[in-house]
Amino acid sequence: MIFEGIESFLGNTPMMRISRLFRDLNVFAKLEYLNPTFSIKDRPAYYMIQEAVRKKKIHPGNTVIAATSGNTGLGLCLACKINQLNLICTVFDSVSIEKIALLKSYGAHVVVCDSDVPSDEEGGYVWVAKSLSQEIKNSVLIDQFVDINNPLAHYQTTGPELYEQLRGKIDYFFSTIGTGGTISGIGRYLKEKNPSIKVIGVEPEGGIYRDTFLQKTPLYSDHLIHSISDNFISQNMDFSVVDDIISVKDIDSFRLCYELLDREQICAGTSSGCVLAGIKKFFERTEVINPEPIITTVLPDCGLKYIDTLFNPDYLEQHDIRLDGKSDDELRQQI
Ligand code: PMP
């Protein structure tokens, strides 16, 4: 079959059983890094731009402005080029150099903001995107934290694909949470199909979604899984489709990325490690009544975007991530 236009390759990603890594559990993962710019965020980026064009909110030659941790920006590069739009991305300074270099290579203008400032406060990357959109003529803010086309992309594409691929035989769906688009869109679709499917969020320790879900006062602290669990709650997060949110240590997320590479030869980014660490932790602690639950998830992006962090021994050492031994934190807990 001959395809025309890179957008023909959006979605319809393969589903793979992760059986060499999880020998005792039925874990199926949708390989979302096989989207055109190597992440799941191509789907909502395309949806948000197509809708804005359809509703005549943007016209060729206009400038799109978006706050992004990189992947949505890359998806927007694709959608903007197709629609002859300029693109300005605001990112925070801890976004990987690979993502920033890729954004620039695709032709986006990148504004790097201070990650110490809360994202939606003055100087933070979400705040800067909003204020640029007020200053720049003929510009439109694409706000993935608010735009309903973000979860809708997953409700209309990722969710149905995942459900069909497993022929509806699903007991658990696990997802990390950034804007909440993935978990809210897929979660809503699955719950409508079968309310007994459990939807479980996974975040790094330090994230604020778990405490918010448990109705505790959340306290954000820095973590190393930069594209998820930011320091504010996204409006697009729909807690009503979620059954539980668990948190995992950064070192376990990193470790699972290496195990995934070693056992399955899948090179995925840190949020993929995070969700797999979450599945592992959840089933170490949960007594499962159904003897062979079907567990599914998505692997959001590609490990090649993290060569300077996840796959850089100096970076791991600087952050006390000792994958062959125990971390200081783990040793301290043993004493
Ligand atoms: N993983 C990666 C690598 C991401 O870039 C994102 C989005 N920032 C997510 C997970 C979370 O996706 P969502 O925004 O749909 O919650």
pLDDT at 332 over 70: no
CA 284 to CA 288: how far, in whole Å? 10
pLDDT at 327 over 90: no
257 lines ligand 1 (CB under 6 A): no
Note the pLDDT tens digit of each residue in 77-118.
Answer: 999 999 999 999 999 998 889 999 999 999 999 999 998 898
43 lines ligand 1 (CB under 6 A): no
The predicted model gives 189-212 an average pLDDT of 98
Q: Work out the pLDDT band at 66, boundaries 50, 70, 90.
A: very high
Give the closest residue to 165 by CA, choosing from 11, 320, 289: 11
For residue 332, the CA-to-ligand 1 centroid distance in Å is 32
What pLDDT does residue 146 have? 97
Q: Work out the pLDDT band at 6, boundaries 50, 70, 90.
A: very high
The predicted model gives 11-31 an average pLDDT of 97
The predicted model gives 21-45 an average pLDDT of 97
157 lines ligand 1 (CB under 6 A): no
Ligand 1 atom 11 nearest Cα: 178
- Tell me the torsion sign for CA atoms 51, 103, 220, 186: positive
Task: Give the nearest ligand 1 atom to 271 CA.
Answer: 1
Q: Work out the pLDDT band at 287, boundaries 50, 70, 90.
A: confident
Mean model confidence pLDDT for the chain: 95
Q: What are the Cα distances from residue 263, in Å, to 23, 24, 87, 245, 260?
A: 11, 14, 39, 27, 5
Backbone angles phi, psi at 47, to 5 degrees: -60, -45
- Tell me the torsion sign for CA atoms 263, 94, 127, 246: positive
Note the pLDDT tens digit of each residue in 131-182.
Answer: 999 999 999 999 999 999 999 999 999 999 999 999 999 999 999 999 999 9
CA 310 to CA 179: how far, in whole Å? 22
For residue 270, the CA-to-ligand 1 centroid distance in Å is 10
CB distance 199 to 208 below 8 Å: no
175 lines ligand 1 (CB under 6 A): no
179 lines ligand 1 (CB under 6 A): yes
What single string gives the DSSP state of each residue in 263-293? Answer: HH---B-HHHHHHHHHHHHHHHHPPPSSSS-
Q: Work out the pLDDT band at 324, boundaries 50, 70, 90.
A: confident
**Three-state secondary structure string covering 82-116:** HCCCEEEEEEECCCCHHHHHHHHHCCCEEEEECCC
CB distance 205 to 213 below 8 Å: no
pLDDT at 331 over 60: no
Give the closest residue to 297 by CA, choosing from 183, 196, 126: 183
CA 220 to CA 98: how far, in whole Å? 26
For residue 39, the CA-to-ligand 1 centroid distance in Å is 9
CB distance 176 to 271 below 8 Å: yes
For residue 226, the CA-to-ligand 1 centroid distance in Å is 9
Has the ipTM of the complex gone over 0.90?
yes
Task: Give the nearest ligand 1 atom to 269 CA.
Answer: 3
For residue 68, the CA-to-ligand 1 centroid distance in Å is 10
Ligand 1 atom 4 nearest Cα: 227
Residue 182 CA to chain centroid, in angstroms?
7
CA 159 to CA 240: how far, in whole Å? 17
Name the percent of the chain lying above pLDDT 70: 96
Give the closest residue to 144 by CA, choosing from 73, 88, 229: 73
CA 75 to CA 98: how far, in whole Å? 15
Ligand 1 atom 12 nearest Cα: 178
Task: Please state whether 62 falls in left (phi above 0), alpha (psi between -120 and 50) or beta.
Answer: beta
